[in-house]
Structure 1
Amino acid sequence: MSSKKFSCLIIEDDPAFVEILKVVVSKVAEVELLGTCDNTLDAAKRIDLDKPDVLLLDINISGLEGPEVLELSDHKPKTVMISSHPEEVMENYEVEYVAFIQKPLRNSDQLVNAIHKCLNALKQ
């Protein structure tokens, strides 16, 4: 008996942090990683094309600011915002997100819990 897999897209431009995110995502059995994007212009296309259920989105990334990608996308995945600067999340953006993770990631459980919050929101 297989349970539904939820898809996830990582948008992050720090290669070392991408690897950390990939490892953490792989720990969540219900989630399948669609891939990664290291700039927001590619990300905007991928979001509408692949329609991920969950998005791990860096706020400071090359191209547009991370949240601007969500404003441009027709598809609205459940989003975990990621940044070294928590104050940025509250500034200037009118996008919905489920959770915020501050870099550096000190505890993988924090991200796993944020992903589960997204999955729970999707199941409702």
Structure 2
Amino acid sequence: MSNKEYRYLIIEDDPAFVEILKVVVSKVPQMKLIGTSDNTLDAAKRIDLDKPDILLLDINISGLEGPEVLELSEHKPKTIVISSHPEEVMENYDVEYVSFIQKPLKNAEQLINAIHKCIDIMG
């Protein structure tokens, strides 16, 4: 396994869920949190400014819809989509994402596997 560090950004408006995500992602040693955002307008700016490798993106969030953030951003991080409404992701958006995680997070291993999948794609 590589010692390379991967920077990630959390776009999520539920502070309690942000903490859950941080705890789970911390189990992947090469991951470094570079920030969180609770609204999509701020998030679009942060993605281009901070250039994260991986994005944990909630679909239902204040501001724009989650996928619109990706359209506004020039930088295209590997994205893990998070939502309590999987049908919205599958039907309404043409979003390029690596994995989908359904809320509430019932299995931490699912998120950890999604992160490893992103890392494998990046090489």
Category of TM-score, reference length = shorter chain: over 0.9
The 3-state SS of whatever aligns with 1:91 is helix
Q: 1:57 aligns to what?
A: 57
Give the TM-score normalised by structure 2: 0.96
Shift of 1:3: 1.4
Q: 2:90 aligns to what?
A: 90
Most deviating of 87-96 and 54-63: 87-96
Tell me how far apart the structure 2 counterparts of residues 48 and 3 of structure 1 sit (CA, whole Å): 25
1:66-115 Cα deviation digits (max 9, x unpaired): 01000110000000000000001122322200000000000111100011
Q: 1:46 aligns to what?
A: 46
How many residue pairs are counted as aligned between the two chains?
122
Tell me how far apart the structure 2 counterparts of residues 110 and 90 of structure 1 sit (CA, whole Å): 18
Q: Hey, which bits of structure 1, 4+ residues long, moved more than 4 A? A: none
- Residues 25-36 of structure 1 mapped to structure 2, 5 A cutoff: 25-36=25-36
Where structure 2 has 5 or more consecutive residues not aligned to the other structure, the ranges are none
Q: Percent identity?
A: 79
